[in-house]
């Protein structure tokens, strides 16, 4: 009897997250956010693809998210096989091929399951069963894509048209006739009526051997470019950094265009147990737990005589109240509010683009900024001053740094801080404070076993985050002053 090999999950998490603004932004996109449930979408995806029959995951992400990935995986007690760092986002084809080539170098012919980490599968067991049913076809040399049985004429998804001999029923891979681009409303209704189509989920199962062979056939230049980036990769703090020079030559193209559409060895596994890519707030409303009037209400929101609406606040300091609302999306954070008809949920990307054109900070960044050592939040900003609340994880340390334009006052409100200023080191406990003069080399550490919290008051002519010169850093980050001056040294 042939033993079934372990499945190697490939977790893709490099998206920019504009469609669920303001909760999801470029600095902290939706896959890392608790959109639905008590865990992030990334954590839900990682847990869905763990346990018996699954190898440790390979994660493909960007440099800005590498420490978020490690922290969130640790939060659900999952140790990755590897974390591949893309020098910049080049779409799904380079990302998937980099994972395939990396894995092929470790385990030739390995079985890999490619999964975006910002999707919801309502029934994780049903999805795992569908994956198990698709394994024989994948081992036989087919590329298996998981198609979702549609339940409405959706215009936000691409479609898969099955061969006339196929049946869009779960349980067995089916032959594909063609892929169909996102349709308009009329065409979507026609496709739904045909009962021979599936939504394209972007989830794939194949062996490394199969996908590499397909790339060599259909996108020769791309597999060469990605191969150079993988072969010249370097290990940095446990991360595998793909070669920047080679990666920059890789074509920016989706896996659908590069391989799936021209391939003749691709089959679809129908899946009908509840799925969403959470591509809009309307989709979040559909996946929520509605009240009797069809509303989905967060803990910081109140609905009075509303129906069919999403009322959500992600800040305990902002209470959202809706009165006589119908089919509306209302989403608030501590620094931004979105209000839109449910039918216009897909236009949120337009709003983000408009904010970017005006250089509005909220377009891409949060008041809360996540760093490898913890996070900070801006509490107040004025002329020549800024107040922040800084949380430092147990055992973590900020870089040894200095500033050209500002001085700082630190007041410890929780835990113990180890502070280095010049050649002097001191311990501060709750209610103690210290002053860091302009230009002084300084470092903040948490030597304790609990989170440390302090209030930082900055004063000076310029208070931007790029006024940081790092002299030593355990996280090997680039000095922000060097970046501004065009020097990319770590």
**How would you class 353 by CB atoms within 10 Å of its CB: exposed for 0-12, middle for 13-18, buried for 19 or more?**
exposed
Look at residue 483 in the predicted model and tell me its pLDDT: 38
Q: Label residue 1 by pLDDT band (50, 70, 90).
A: very low
Q: Label residue 370 by pLDDT band (50, 70, 90).
A: confident
Q: Label residue 171 by pLDDT band (50, 70, 90).
A: confident
**How would you class 488 by CB atoms within 10 Å of its CB: exposed for 0-12, middle for 13-18, buried for 19 or more?**
exposed
Look at residue 480 in the predicted model and tell me its pLDDT: 44
pLDDT of residue 269 exceeding 70, the answer is yes
Phi then psi for residue 452, to 5 deg, are: -105, 140
DSSP for 290-329, written as a single string: --TTS-EE-TTEEEES-BS-EEEE--TT--EEEES-BSEE
464-483 per-position pLDDT tens digit: 888 999 999 888 775 544 43
Reduce the DSSP state of residue 422 to 3 states and report it.
coil
For the chain, give the mean pLDDT. Answer: 92
The mean pLDDT of 171-191, rounded to a whole number, is 91
The mean pLDDT of 279-300, rounded to a whole number, is 94
More confident residue, 248 or 477: 248
What is the sign of the dihedral through the CA atoms of 42, 107, 134 and 177? positive
What is the sign of the dihedral through the CA atoms of 429, 393, 34 and 62? positive
115-159 per-position pLDDT tens digit: 999 999 999 999 999 999 999 999 999 999 999 999 999 998 999
Reduce the DSSP state of residue 216 to 3 states and report it.
helix
311-342 per-position pLDDT tens digit: 999 999 999 999 999 999 999 999 999 999 99
Helical H runs in 195-316?
208-218, 220-231, 244-247, 255, 281-287
CATH topology of domain 368-484: Jelly Rolls (2.60.120)
8 Å CB contact between 55 and 9? yes
Give the residue from 47, 82, 86 showing the smallest Cα distance to 64.
86
Look at residue 167 in the predicted model and tell me its pLDDT: 67
Look at residue 478 in the predicted model and tell me its pLDDT: 59
Inter-CA distances, 38 with 33, 75, 193, 272, Å: 10, 12, 37, 24
CATH topology of domain 7-276: Spore Coat Polysaccharide Biosynthesis Protein SpsA; Chain A (3.90.550)
pLDDT of residue 487 exceeding 50, the answer is no
Report residue 144 as tokens. 């298996």
pLDDT of residue 344 exceeding 90, the answer is yes
8 Å CB contact between 334 and 362? no
The CA distance from 309 to 326, in Å, is: 6
The mean pLDDT of 223-233, rounded to a whole number, is 97
8 Å CB contact between 196 and 134? no
The CA distance from 406 to 408, in Å, is: 7
The CA distance from 240 to 237, in Å, is: 8
Look at residue 85 in the predicted model and tell me its pLDDT: 96
Look at residue 222 in the predicted model and tell me its pLDDT: 97
Instruction: Encode burial over 178-201: b for 16+ CB neighbours within 10 A, e otherwise.
Output: ebbeebeeeebeebbeeebbbbbb
38-87 per-position pLDDT tens digit: 999 999 999 999 999 999 999 999 998 998 999 999 999 999 999 999 99
Give the residue from 288, 229, 240 showing the smallest Cα distance to 93.
229
pLDDT of residue 200 exceeding 80, the answer is yes
Domain positions in the chain: 7-276, 288-355, 368-484
Give the residue from 337, 274, 5, 307 showing the smallest Cα distance to 125.
274
Residues 6+ apart with CB under 8 A from 189: 153
Look at residue 168 in the predicted model and tell me its pLDDT: 59
Look at residue 165 in the predicted model and tell me its pLDDT: 79
Look at residue 490 in the predicted model and tell me its pLDDT: 30
């Amino acid at each position: 009897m042939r033993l079934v090999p372990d499945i190697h999950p490939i977790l893709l998490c490099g998206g920019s997250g504009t469609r669920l603004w303001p909760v999801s932004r470029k600095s902290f996109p939706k896959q890392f956010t608790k959109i639905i449930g008590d865990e992030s979408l990334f954590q839900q995806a990682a847990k869905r693809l763990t346990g018996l029959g699954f190898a440790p995951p390979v994660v493909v992400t960007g440099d800005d998210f590498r420490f978020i990935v490690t922290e969130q995986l640790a939060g659900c007690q999952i140790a990755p096989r590897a974390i591949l760092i893309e020098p910049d986002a080049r779409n799904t084809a380079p990302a998937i091929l980099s994972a395939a080539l990396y894995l092929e170098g470790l385990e030739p012919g390995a079985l890999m399951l490619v999964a975006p980490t910002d999707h919801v599968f309502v029934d994780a067991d049903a999805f795992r069963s569908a994956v198990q049913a698709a394994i024989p076809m994948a081992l036989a040399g087919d590329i298996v894509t998981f198609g979702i049985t549609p339940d409405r004429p959706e215009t936000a998804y691409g479609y898969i048209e099955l061969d006339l001999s196929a049946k869009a029923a779960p349980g067995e891979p089916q032959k594909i006739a063609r892929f169909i681009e996102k349709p308009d409303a009329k065409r979507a209704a026609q496709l739904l009526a045909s009962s021979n189509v599936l939504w394209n989920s972007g989830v794939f199962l194949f062996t490394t051997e199969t996908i590499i062979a397909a790339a060599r056939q259909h996108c020769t230049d791309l597999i060469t470019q990605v191969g150079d980036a993988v072969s010249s990769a370097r290990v940095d703090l446990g991360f595998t950094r793909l070669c920047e020079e080679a990666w920059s030559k890789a074509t920016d193209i989706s896996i659908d265009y590069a391989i799936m559409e021209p391939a003749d060895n691709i089959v679809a596994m129908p899946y009908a147990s509840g799925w969403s890519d959470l591509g809009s707030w309307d989709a979040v409303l559909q996946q929520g737990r509605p009240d009797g009037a069809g509303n989905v209400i967060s803990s910081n929101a109140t609905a009075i005589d509303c129906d069919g609406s999403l009322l959500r606040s992600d800040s305990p300091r902002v209470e959202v109240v809706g009165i006589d609302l119908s089919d509306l999306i209302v989403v608030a954070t501590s620094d931004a509010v979105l209000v839109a008809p449910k039918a216009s949920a897909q236009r949120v990307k337009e709003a983000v683009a408009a904010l970017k054109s005006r250089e509005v900070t909220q377009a891409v960044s949060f008041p809360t900024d996540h760093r490898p050592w913890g996070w900070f939040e801006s509490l107040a900003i004025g002329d020549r001053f800024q107040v922040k609340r800084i949380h430092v994880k147990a055992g973590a340390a900020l870089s040894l740094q200095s500033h050209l334009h500002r001085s700082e006052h630190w007041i410890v409100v929780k835990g113990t801080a180890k502070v280095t200023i010049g050649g002097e080191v001191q311990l501060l406990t709750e209610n103690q404070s210290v002053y860091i003069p302009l230009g002084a080399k300084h470092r903040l550490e948490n030597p304790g076993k609990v989170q440390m919290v302090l209030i930082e008051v900055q004063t000076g002519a310029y208070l931007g985050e790029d006024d940081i010169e790092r002299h030593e850093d355990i996280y090997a980050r680039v000095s922000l002053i060097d970046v501004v001056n065009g020097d990319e040294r770590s």
